[in-house]
Amino acid sequence: MSVFGAQAQTATSTAPDAASQSGNAGQQAGSSAPGSASQGGSMGQQGSSPAPDQSGQGASMGQPGSSPAQDPASQGASMGQQGSSGTSGSTGTTSSEQMSGSSQGASATAAGATSAGAAKLSKSDEKILKGMAQANIDEIEAGKLAQTKSQNDEVKKFAQQMIDDHTKALNEAQQVAQEKGVTLPTGPDAKHKKAVASLEKLSGEAFDKAYMKNAGLNDHRMVLAQLQRDEKNAKDADVKGLATKMTPVVEQHLKAAEQISASKGGATAGK
């Protein structure tokens, strides 16, 4: 009994020792577990810290993406934006360059046309152009006077035609002169100023006869002969064109003046 008791006690003491050892082991295990847990926690913290570190690094690196999954999208968006801006930029630049080139080309063409049209006339062509303008001005002024002083319907009609036709011819001459850089006369010459002053002193039939003789017959004969010479001698195409265009008009004026002057003693019919 004593032996068994001692064994029992030994067993009992052994059991507590085992229990204590188990307890110690448990404690060690528990301590190990917490240690593992703490290590796990530390590792978890360390493990979780790289992720923030990567996010932080991602953020500090210009945010290629808050997470690797977002990097392609954000990079794609950035590349899309760059692509869009690049496309619009290149397109805008190309369009601007093309428009600029077109504008420069148009300006160069216009400049070339202007310089070609503004070629300076020779002295002889400038004289011809000024002579045509002067003849038109003289006929216009005489026609205006006849409109106010004549009492003859035929004479007044003729005078109005002189105003209309020669005003049109003067405008055309002025346009050519502007293109060629030529300054034209703006009023009657000395000869016709004197003629107008003489006509102003007349009235009635005397005025009609004097007007038709000087402005109707003499001036148109002289102008027609000059235009025929100008058409042959003018070198500039525009100046020659004016003479060619005006010649038949002046021929018609001369025929009308001859008819009126021949009727009833010189322009008294229809009175």
Query: What total of structural domains would you count in the chain?
Result: 2
Pair 128, 19 in one domain: no
| Domain-embedded: residue 22 | yes
| Domain-embedded: residue 110 | no
| Domain-embedded: residue 256 | yes
**What does the pLDDT read at residue 265?**
58
| Domain-embedded: residue 43 | no
What CATH number is given to the structural domain containing 139? 1.20.1260.10
| Domain-embedded: residue 91 | no
Token pair of 164, please? 């209309």
Pair 15, 128 in one domain: no
Pair 10, 132 in one domain: no
| Domain-embedded: residue 107 | no
Residue-number span of the structural domain to which 163 is assigned: 122-265
Pair 127, 25 in one domain: no
Cβ of 58: how many Cβ atoms within 10 Å?
A: 19
**What does the pLDDT read at residue 181?**
96
**What does the pLDDT read at residue 263?**
84
**What does the pLDDT read at residue 172?**
98
Q: Could you list the mean pLDDT of each consecutive 10-residue stretch along the chain, which spans 271 residues?
A: 40 40 39 39 40 41 42 44 42 47 46 52 97 98 97 96 98 97 96 95 96 97 97 97 98 97 60 44
**What does the pLDDT read at residue 264?**
53
| Domain-embedded: residue 145 | yes
HEC per residue, the chain:
CHHHHHHHHHHHHHHHHHHHHHHHHHHHHHHHHHHHHHHHHHHHHHHHCHHHHHHHHHHHCCCCCCCCCHHHHHHHHHHHHHHHHHHHHHHHHHHHHHHHHHHHHHHHHHHHHHHHHCCCCCHHHHHHHHHHHHHHHHHHHHHHHHHHHCCCHHHHHHHHHHHHHHHHHHHHHHHHHHHHCCCCCCCCCHHHHHHHHHHHCCCHHHHHHHHHHHHHHHHHHHHHHHHHHHHHHCCCHHHHHHHHHHHHHHHHHHHHHHHHHHHHHCCCCCC
Token pair of 227, please? 């235009």
**What does the pLDDT read at residue 41?**
37
| Domain-embedded: residue 96 | no
* pTM, 2 dp: 0.56
Pair 15, 141 in one domain: no
